[in-house]
Chains A and B, each alone.
Chain A
Amino acid sequence: MGTTVEKRSELYGIIGDFDSPEQLLDAIRTARSRGYTKMDALTPFPIHGIDEALGEKRSPLGYIVLCAALLGATTALLLQWWTGAVDYPLVIAGKPLFAFEFSIPVTFELTVLFSAFATVLGMFHLNRIPTFYHPTFKYSRFRGATDDRFLLVIEKSDPMFDVATAAEMLRECGSRHTEVVEA
């Protein structure tokens, strides 16, 4: 925190503003062909093919959810077995104290419940939300990203990064407003 002054002047990257998903994808492909690797796109809706263009890997969320599902099923089975057959055995209508048949509904429901929470919280974690700040919020035309504009960010962390050449390339690809954003 002692280096606030220094940090303030640090760059996050450069952002270009495009008219359509097609233009954005073209810009991403151009940037990739020129060797840029640290990029991000801000769009009002998910764009098919953008992950391939950016070289993004498949989301690992499914694995998180699978673990939660197994945990939910185990919890439900242990809960029903321990409460019914161990801690307080009570014969009701001659039914067994524990059986897989009658434990299916509750096991299923808890599996779904745990998985749903894991899906949402896992997605939050992978996306690092909730957050109240992100450098891209400082882009003067940021509101277009949740309306009808398609933004491309070339991040400063990219080894190729150079403000002048990156800005030139974004303009070449049809960016309507190219702006440097601080971290």
Chain B
Amino acid sequence: MADVAIEPQHDPVNPPLVLGNPTYGDVTNTVSDIVERKTPKKWFIAFGISASLTLLLGAMLGYLVLNGIGVWGNNSPVGWAWDITNFVFWIGIGHAGTLISAILFLFRQKWRTSINRAAEAMTLFAVACAGIFPLFHVGRPWRAYWLFPVPNPELSMWQNFRSPLLWDVFAVSTYATVSALFWYVGLVPDLATIRDRAAARGDKIRKYVFGVLSLGWRGSAKHWKHYEMAYLILAGLSTPLVLSVHTIVSFDFAVSIIPGWHTTIFPPYFVAGAIFSGFAMVMTLMIIARWALNLEHLVTMKHLENMNKVMLATGLIVGYAYATEMFIAWYGGNPYERFAFANRALGPYAWAYWTMVSCNVLVPQLFWFKKLRTNIPVMFVCSLLINVGMWFERFVIIVTSLHRDFLPSSWGYFRPTIVDILTFVGSFGLFLTLFLLFVRFLPMIAISEVKGVMATSKGSAAAH
């Protein structure tokens, strides 16, 4: 495989992943400069807004703790509403990060290198936002440790391992931990780069902080050998993990006997939806980041187009799942099931159902056209609409199934309170605050991985 003759710049099928033929040093400079340059004004403006929203989240959660979860709109018969919708929504967002970092790594999709760091960070922050909702929905968040099997004199009993809700505790906490480990391991060589640059520039604080964080990394061949093996194993672990997490999240519903929830299609349908919504969120963030930080030569149109193709594919899977659900509800002949689905499409929440279908099934169809899937304003609007649609998908599944179940005498209609709405808005504040801090202080593009891709695409004799 030595001496690959194709000049990457002239290959129409596989356009280069890094534009403008920069040197290794250029890549180091471009990415490190984002961290090292004076904080730009627009960062402060964005941070001010997102930090204010985070304060709003804190205020709403404080208000909830003082008053009880009655401040939210969920009540009998709709016991789960925006809180669980938001939980599933945020967890789903996180899944695209793991898909990009782990699954695309195993499939040797080299285009992932420019976006994987930011996508993994997004995973962590999304999981943090997700965790807040079930944590506060339990009403007494200071007793959250009751969910873990630790000896507990107040409880005097053990957790119920037969309940999918407990599986979910294990799935989500494992997911958060493993994602953090994966992200940190990926960061170590780049932290060493920032450390050495800080030492050369005489930036003492950064030299010490990054010196500690980079663990004494020196890029030795022996280091890389174990490191690459660790990275491969973590990718191999994260791949089934990410599938298991949304599968188990779907078990929260599928294992119950509520019509509209009790379906075997849920695990694959939830996983596809999670990847769909997560890619939409990565798209939204990357379009803003590459514009604000001038990274157009590292996050190229090819990256964006590939993400749009993933959204088209997963959008089709989601649309197919909607159709299958409807068909099985009719074909299965269970009157409660039939009613639940007719009620979804035509009942009092029809507006939510059709918002979901329009955003998730119709909008991604635009990506069949190359002109549209390579047009930045179009893909930006589409990514926002898909996020709206996927939020509504969880809302539709949760609320329409609960608001009218077996007994018409106990039917109801859920309306969110202002606290519901502001808590959700506040969770975006937390997400953006964490993301802005990440972009400001850590290398948001995997420097060493991009260099590795450049080395291979240069067709060097060393490549194989």
Contact = CB atoms under 8 A, between A and B. Distances in A.
Nearest to A49: B462
A160 interface: no
A21 B218 contact: no
Contact of B219 (A54, A58, A79, A145): A145
Query: Ordered nearest first, which 5 A-B pairs have the shortest CB separation?
Result: A148-B24, A83-B158, A123-B230, A131-B216, A143-B196
B413 interface: no
A50 B221 contact: yes
B248 to A, nearest CB: 5
Given A48-B463, A106-B166, A42 B218 contact: yes
A46 B237 contact: no
A44 interface: yes
Interface in B3-33: 23-25, 28
Contact of B215 (A61, A90, A131): A131
A143 B157 contact: no
18 contacts: A45-B224, A46-B448, A47-B224, A61-B226, A61-B229, A62-B229, A83-B149, A84-B158, A84-B160, A84-B162, A108-B240, A113-B174, A115-B237, A116-B181, A123-B226, A143-B196, A146-B192, A148-B25
A32 to B, nearest CB: 13
Interface of B: 23-25, 28, 149, 157-164, 166-167, 170-171, 174, 177-178, 181-182, 184-185, 189, 192-193, 195-197, 199-200, 211-212, 215-230, 233-234, 237, 240-241, 244, 248, 251, 447-449, 451-452, 455-456, 460-464
A27 interface: no
Interface stretch (A4-12, A132-140, A167-175): A132-140
A88 B216 contact: no
A123 B185 contact: yes
Contacts of B171: 105, 109
A120 interface: yes
A106 B170 contact: yes
Contacts of B211: 132
How many chain A residues sit at the interface, stated as a range, is 35 or more
B242 to A, nearest CB: 10
Contact of A47 (B184, B199, B226, B462): B462
Interface string A56-81: 10110110010000000000000110
Contacts of A129: 215-217, 223
Contacts of A41: 220-221
Q: Is the interface of B mostly helix, strand, loop or mixed?
A: helix
Nearest to B25: A148
A130 interface: yes
A109 B178 CA distance: 10
Contacts of A56: 221-222, 225
Given A116-B181, A147-B24, A106 B193 contact: no
Contact of B455 (A21, A42, A108): A21
A40 to B, nearest CB: 5
B220 A42 contact: yes
**A61, A83, A109, A131: most-surrounded residue (chain B CB, <10 A):** A109
B251 to A, nearest CB: 7
A160 to B, nearest CB: 19
A130 B216 contact: yes
Given A46-B224, A109-B170, A143-B197, 14 more contacts: A21-B462, A43-B221, A44-B219, A47-B462, A54-B221, A62-B229, A65-B233, A83-B158, A88-B157, A105-B167, A109-B167, A112-B178, A117-B181, A129-B216
Contacts of A136: 218, 220
A116 B452 contact: no
A1 interface: no
Given A50-B221, A145-B219, A92 B185 contact: no
A136 B199 CA distance: 15
B251 A44 contact: no
B159 A83 contact: yes
B462 A112 contact: no
Nearest to B245: A109
B220 A119 contact: no
Contact of A146 (B174, B189, B240, B464): B189
A40 B227 CA distance: 15
A95 B32 CA distance: 56
A90 B159 CA distance: 10
B406 to A, nearest CB: 18
Q: Which of A44, A108, A148 is most buried by chain B, counting CB atoms within 10 A of its CB?
A: A44
B219 A108 contact: no
A137 B240 contact: no
